[in-house]
Chains A and B, each alone.
Chain A
Amino acid sequence: MIRFDRFTLSNGLRVLVHEDASTPMAVVNVLYDVGARDEEPTHTGFAHLFEHLMFGGSVNIPVYDDPMQRAGGENNAYTTNDLTNYYCQLPADNLETALWLESDRMLSLAFSEKSLDVQRKVVCEEFKEHYINKPYGDVWKLLRDLAYREHPYRWMTIGRELSHIEKATLPDVRHFFGKHYNPVNAILVVAGNVRTEAVRGHVEKWFGDIPPGARYLRDLPSEPEQREARRLEVGAKVPLDAFYRTWHMSGRLDVRYHAADLVTDMLGGSGSSRLYQSLVKEKKLFSSIDCYHFGSLDPGLVAIEGKLVKGVAMDTAEAAVEEELEKLRRSPVPVKELQKVKNKTESLMAFEDMSVMSRASSIAFYELLGDAGMMNGELSRYQAVTVDQVLEECRTLFRDENSCTLVYRSEG
């Protein structure tokens, strides 16, 4: 059970405090309700580029990192398709330094041309390092494009192409800041060796006078139901043939979500999972195979990806994957197997909760979902999933017309 206190400033900033006297550290986590899904199709990659610019100096503080490091702190941030999260950890005595830094960049950035120029290059190198200069690096660019026709999940967080990042301008940056980086669109979590009442005073001081900004009203096109199977075959200079198939799943708040999450754990992710045992160990068709999903807030994707053993025909591999899915569609999974993936979820949560940083980001995430208190009921929502619900979910998910397939062939 993770306890927290919650209050809202007059400018609309939601603040949650999680006290833990067992650590000498404090964590400050600021979540902004903006991700790659909120970008224009012609300006993809912008939310992530913007995250880099948040370290390029704010209106009253020339460099973010220096005071943070001088206070003994470490910080970082990440952008997903759904949200942008900034977090730092430092000795609890220096909590105010973090609040000072975070509040100043929520107030306003320095908007420096130099910072924009450098970070455009840095992000382009990040793009190259992870998505261009790696074998199979463009897989998710292709798959997102195949699976989504309308919803902005059709591009990756890093962006659709390098040119979108290269042509970002300072006016774009100012506009994006004004639209999304406001108290009403943010959630602040303070955790660790802190006291709620003291935090309240500090937060009022540093964040209280920031203008609230306008609430961003998200109005994204929803993805129309897919009605026939989609398929794309590509060839590239990779050493092994690879198989990818996705299926549309529910959004994060849907009642179906937990069953789908457990299904992916039965199929992949461990040495006793179905796909690994059957297709890697017994049939020896794949040298690696996995099943996962992204935990997206809007309706997401379940994916299976595998590399074929050399000499195995794609048809054979594909049919073998379908055979495993057919078993799941045909009859209920053994109770013991369902219990296994529930147990795994239980221990994963316990391990995650060991770190105060992880607890702070969970609190922010569930608050974004609607109520931080939901995190304490999460395990019981998994425990409540029945074998019948799993069967139902498999029948809903793993339909041919709901699938997108990418065949990635080796051209040497």
Chain B
Amino acid sequence: MSFRSIAPPIKDPVDLHLELRPCHRFTLDNGVDVYAIDAGAEEVLQVEVVYRAGNAYEGSNGIAPAVNFLLKNGTPSRNAFEINEHFDYHGAYLNRNCHSESADVVLHCLTKHLPDLLPVMCDLLTEADFPAQELDIYRQNMKQRLDVNLRKCDFVANRLIDEYLWGFEHPYGRYSTYESYDALDRSALLDFYGRHYARGHATLFVAGLLPNDIEAQLNRHFGALPLNRDPLPAPTHPAVRAAERRHRVDNQPDGVQGAIRLARPFPNRHHPDHPGAMVLNALFGGFFGSRLMENIREDKGYTYGIYSYLQNQVAESAWMVSTEAGRDVCEAAITEVYHEMRRLREEEIPDEELQMVRNYLMGTLLGDLDGPFQIIGRWKNLVINGLDEAFFRRTVDTIRNIPGAELNALAARYLREEDFYELVVV
């Protein structure tokens, strides 16, 4: 037998000592919290301002993402081109993202350019004035983009499954339409911007090779802003779930694949079942070695890839299975997904498989914590969800120790065919 038949010894990653590197925390003069990670070898950094300005706070459909997108398109002292050129000239990226609860504005730049960029970033976050012409272009181009996306089965499926789960009036279930773009109104944008950005609730996250005077620089530009003053509104949105669980949608008559989505509601990260569900999800469909991938891709060849995941929202979540499969094998693929759910409910999980998943999760977690941007990303996730280091430790502890029988019990509670909304869009 060749020496190659014997695997080299490994150090089980499950035994790794894994800690979330502590964050430096300080408060600006106006009470805004800053979380900082000063680390790295390259002279780069990121400054992220996270606002409570997601869809959950908007009065009418599409205001929150439009404000988030267009706040870069003009202030009284700079037009959109000048703003873009300023960041581009410094080799910097100013990205913005709008989520269900939060919305953020993120600057990535070389550390040496920060003093030239912060004043302009501050201008955008306090003085954006949403020129009518910019809004017109946005409306037109977003409608055209929607035209194209509506021809894609995965795009249509992602919208519909959320609507079934939450209802169209719920921020998680709502999506853009031609009408919502037409209805966008400049005064509504200005109003939302004033309440949720200029005078909104913000938290700062900075990471990278930080200059020595980072606190002073941030205070100079953000420390006097009228942020975090009014109490944070706490909108509540009751879910209105679809009565019918099973849906088949014919979007493209000549489509050669179907987008499959199976989903059920799931509690948020504060629920005691959350860390265990994360491990169960890995086993089920969370990575390349998962059962869904092994069965439906690697054994049957029905798809290029299949994944399951817990949705990343703050108030509530959902457990989702997602894949695109050949048109003729969609129903067979769904049968196999339910088959894998049943096995997780009813069959003992082999020790070897569970050990592999534990090691995989720990090893990749170690890799995911490698670098200042990755570490601050973890912190942001904790802070936005109202959690702390204890959650991270609980997650690690669960990966290490959760017994197989407990995963079976979680599967019996959550991975039940009758609880899932089921959708195929061809």
Contact = CB atoms under 8 A, between A and B. Distances in A.
Interface string B239-277: 000000000000010111100000000000000000000
Contacts of A138: none
Interface stretch (B52-60, B191-199, B293-301): B293-301
Nearest to A336: B89
A126 interface: yes
A271 interface: yes
B24 interface: no
Given A74-B364, A120-B301, A97 B324 contact: no
Given A25-B366, A125-B302, A125-B303, A288 B84 contact: no
B359 A354 contact: no
B137 A135 contact: no
Contacts of B366: 24-25, 72, 91
A94 B367 CA distance: 13
A272 B81 contact: yes
Nearest to A307: B144
A237 B90 CA distance: 42
Contacts of B44: 347, 350-351, 354
B373 interface: yes
A125 B257 contact: yes
B4 A60 contact: yes
Interface residues of B, number: 73
Mostly, the B contact residues are mixed
Interface string A174-218: 000000000000000000000000000000000000000000000
B257 A117 contact: no
A118 B359 contact: no
Given A72-B363, A347-B91, A128 B16 contact: no
Interface residues of A, number: 78
Nearest to A72: B363
B42 A129 contact: no
A121 interface: yes
Interface string B73-96: 000000011011101111110000
A39 interface: no
Interface in A106-145: 107, 117-126, 128-129, 132-136
Interface centre among B2, B8, B150, B364, by most chain A C-beta atoms within 10 angstroms, is B8
B370 interface: yes
A268 to B, nearest CB: 12
A67 interface: yes
B85 A343 contact: no
A354 B111 CA distance: 14
B256 A133 contact: yes
A67 B360 CA distance: 10
A72 B148 contact: no
Interface in A331-345: 336, 339-340, 343-345
Interface string A297-323: 000000000010110000000000000
Contacts of B109: 347
B362 A72 contact: yes
A121 B302 contact: yes
B91 A122 contact: no
Given A97-B8, A120-B301, A272 B88 contact: yes
Contacts of A97: 7-8, 10
A272 B84 contact: yes
Interface string A46-77: 00000000000001110001110111111000
Nearest to A118: B301
A138 to B, nearest CB: 12
A71 B359 contact: yes
B148 to A, nearest CB: 6
B356 A129 contact: no
A129 B257 contact: yes
Given A25-B367, A59-B4, 10 more contacts: A23-B370, A72-B362, A91-B16, A91-B367, A100-B4, A270-B88, A272-B85, A345-B91, A346-B91, A350-B43
20 contacts: A20-B41, A25-B370, A60-B5, A61-B7, A70-B360, A97-B7, A119-B301, A129-B257, A129-B304, A133-B256, A239-B147, A271-B85, A277-B81, A277-B84, A281-B81, A287-B140, A288-B144, A339-B89, A345-B91, A354-B373
Interface of A: 20, 22-25, 59-61, 65-67, 69-74, 89-91, 93-94, 96-97, 99-100, 103-104, 107, 117-126, 128-129, 132-136, 237-240, 270-273, 277, 280-281, 284, 287-288, 307, 309-310, 336, 339-340, 343-348, 350-351, 353-356
Interface of B: 2, 4-5, 7-11, 13, 16, 40-44, 72, 80-81, 83-85, 87-92, 108-110, 137, 140-141, 144-145, 147-148, 150-153, 252, 254-257, 287-289, 297-304, 324-326, 355-357, 359-360, 362-364, 366-367, 370-371, 373
